[in-house]
């Protein structure tokens, strides 16, 4: 038995929880903030048997990997609208920091 | 030394923290949500020496086990009150999902 | 690789996160409450390599150790102001409860 602690971005958390649930992984969501990733992150606790760890990691990787996203910047306030050409920029989003911790005993009451 | 991570229902958390405190277990409460149990759960971290783990688990079991509770349903809004016979129903409440994690070192500053 | 779980007082958390960041330790902050320390505490998760654990513990000790603070009590409401001599008192603040947990695997996606 292992306990997987995954720090991910808030925006990826619902998709990840759904994807894990479809494979019968149970997750507990802790509110967290800052540090490993930018502000607005979530820590998920996922308990799973040793032989399912690789599968859980795959689901995390598929749903939370750091990636680039094209964002159209808003036009500058009070700027000269005529000379302003909005240029979509790439922003890094997502990312997951994952710790796999050993579990000595697991109980459900 | 072990770290016990217990995911329990919010409604059981004050009773459990009190019961653990009476046996000199110190707990830290993390806000959590969803997954292992229904919405509205709490994750407790309990640090304890190896020889006290069984005792802590007993306290968790005694205070948080899944159990049935009789609930009187509210009468349906806009229904025909004459034909409605409220029938108390059994609802599952409580439950605890508990991970016992090894601790390499423990410090208090 | 280890995962350090440190329960500290809210008032020490920003200073500690800054001090850890200056030494390149990444932290995730979980909201927590009660128990190990008085109300208003924070749990930090710090992932670090085995050879850096002692250094991280030093930073925690330097920034969060329990210490006394002189506090000037407010004058009693409705009391006799003439006979009241405010006497600064010592209050215990800070403190850290720290668990070092082994990590089987660490991933960043
Ligand atoms: Ni299986
Ligand atoms: Ni003892
Ligand atoms: Ni190094």
d(CA C8, CA C44): 8
**pLDDT score recorded for residue C12:** 93
What pLDDT, on the 0 to 100 scale, is given for residue B106? 96
The set of residues, in sequence order, having a beta carbon less than 8 Å from that of A90 and lying 6+ positions away, is: A68, A69, A70, A71
Chain A residues in contact with B7 (beta carbon < 8 A): 28, 45
Q: What percent of chain C has pLDDT over 90?
A: 55
- For residue A9, how far is its CA from the centre of ligand 1 (angstroms)? 28
Domain ranges of chain A: 2-73+87-102
Report whether C48 contacts C80 (CB < 8 A): no
pLDDT per residue as tens digits for the range C7-30: 999 889 999 999 999 999 999 988
* Residue B49 φ then ψ, to 5°: -70, 155
DSSP label of B86: -
Q: Which CATH number fits domain B2-72+86-102: 3.30.70.120, 1.10.10.10, 3.20.20.140, 3.40.605.10?
A: 3.30.70.120
Q: What is the pLDDT of residues B52-95, one digit of tens each?
A: 999 999 999 999 988 888 877 665 555 565 666 677 888 888 89
Element containing residue C6 per DSSP (H, E): strand C2-9
Count chain A–chain C contacts defined by CB atoms under 8 A. Answer: 76
CATH architecture designation of domain C2-72+87-102: 2-Layer Sandwich (3.30)
**B·C CB contacts under 8 A:** 76
Encoded tokens for A98: 């994952």
Q: Do C99 and B106 touch (CB under 8 A)?
A: yes
What would the pLDDT profile of A39-98 be if each residue is shown by its tens digit?
A: 678 899 999 999 999 999 999 999 998 888 887 766 555 556 666 667 788 888 889 999
CA proximity to C102, closest of A92, A1, B103: B103
Task: State residue B105's pLDDT score.
Answer: 97
Euclidean distance between CA atoms C1 and C101, whole angstroms: 9
At residue C36, the pLDDT reads 47
Q: Higher model confidence: residue C79 or residue B60?
A: B60
CATH number of A2-73+87-102: 3.30.70.120
Asked if the Cβ–Cβ distance from C102 to A97 is below 8 Å, we say no
């Amino acid at each position: 038995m292992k306990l997987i602690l995954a720090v991910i971005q808030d925006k990826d958390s619902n998709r990840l929880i759904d994807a894990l649930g479809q494979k019968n992984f149970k997750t507990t969501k802790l509110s967290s903030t800052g540090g490993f990733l930018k502000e607005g992150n979530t820590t998920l606790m996922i308990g799973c048997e040793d032989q399912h760890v690789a599968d859980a990691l795959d689901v995390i990787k598929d749903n939370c990997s750091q990636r680039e996203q094209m964002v159209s910047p808003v036009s500058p306030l009070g700027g000269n609208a005529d000379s302003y050409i909005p240029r979509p920029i790439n922003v890094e989003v997502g990312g997951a920091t994952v710790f796999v911790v050993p579990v000595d005993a697991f109980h459900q009451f």
